[in-house]
Structure 1
Amino acid sequence: MSKTAKEIVTSFYETDLIHTPEAFSEYLHPEVQLDWTSSFGFRKKNLEDIKMLFEGMSTSFETLRCEISHLVSEKSMVTLRGSYIARLIENPEKEEVIAHCMAIWELKDDKLYRGYMISQHGDNSKESLASFLSK
């Protein structure tokens, strides 16, 4: 039995992408395109750009994980809200919220195909961390 779109997206976001580069071919369609608006502006990313992004993060972070707080799916479309949490190489004993994001993914051939993401810098305020501290 094949996975649902929701299960595929969840599995992608739960994968340790900075230490598992082979996961990109498992989860991302060869023609993947991500339209990403962040505090740095708008960027359009393809498969190689996404791989390079996570490769770059692997030089700054000991660990990186995404905590999903909301996940909604309909057919081949999945929307999520989450926060990226990392242990920085400079301070590996402490986890910090580095970014908050919302993304919409369209799947094709059981892989992430078209993505639309908005993100902003994370913060370690009590309100921001409340959902993670309660786990």
Structure 2
Amino acid sequence: MTAKELVVDFYKSDALINCDIMKEFIHPDITFDWNNSNGFSQMDYDAILRYTEELSKTYIRSKVKISHIVTQDNLVSVRYTHGVKIIENPREEILLGYFMVIWEIKDSKLFRGFQISQKA
């Protein structure tokens, strides 16, 4: 599987709201830097799984729409929107925000991520 295929499969899956799926994609030594509307946060493997667990308590569906994807060797840059369906109203999809991320792939896993986002 290429780096691009790995990243596309990641965002097509329910990994963002399912810890078991998330574990399939992330490297045990992952570091994820995220600049967002609330400031900066850096997450490791355990923090990502805790965050995923929190999201799974509120959202029943997660949908990522990739608009741009660029690859170079083991680096993949992705621009996407992220929408969700909430437990209280499963018929309506809510746009969470706009995202740009650069992923470094190692051992066929997401190893290093640099993300910036803006709320919808």
TM over 0.5: yes
Aligned to 1:76: 74
| Higher Rg | 1
Distance in 2, matches of 1:31 and 1:19, equals 20
State the superposition RMSD in angstroms: 1.2
Letter of the 2:114 counterpart: Y
1:10-25 equivalence runs, <5 A? 10-17=8-15, 20-25=18-23
**Helix, strand or coil at the partner of 1:22:** helix
Structure 2 residue runs without a partner (length 5+) = none
1:1-135 equivalence runs, <5 A? 3-17=1-15, 20-122=18-120
Question: Can you list the C-alpha shifts for 1:72-118, whole angstroms capped at 9, x where unaligned?
Answer: 10100000000111111222111111111000000111111010000
Query: What count of residue pairs does the alignment treat as equivalent?
Result: 120
Q: TM-score, normalised by structure 2?
A: 0.94
Q: TM-score, normalised by structure 1?
A: 0.84
Q: CA deviation at 1:50?
A: 0.9
Letter of the 1:33 counterpart: T
- Maintained 8 Å contact 1:18/1:63: no
Letter of the 1:31 counterpart: D
> What percentage of aligned pairs have identical amino acids?
36
Q: CA deviation at 1:20?
A: 3.5
- Maintained 8 Å contact 2:99/2:115: yes
Letter of the 2:2 counterpart: T
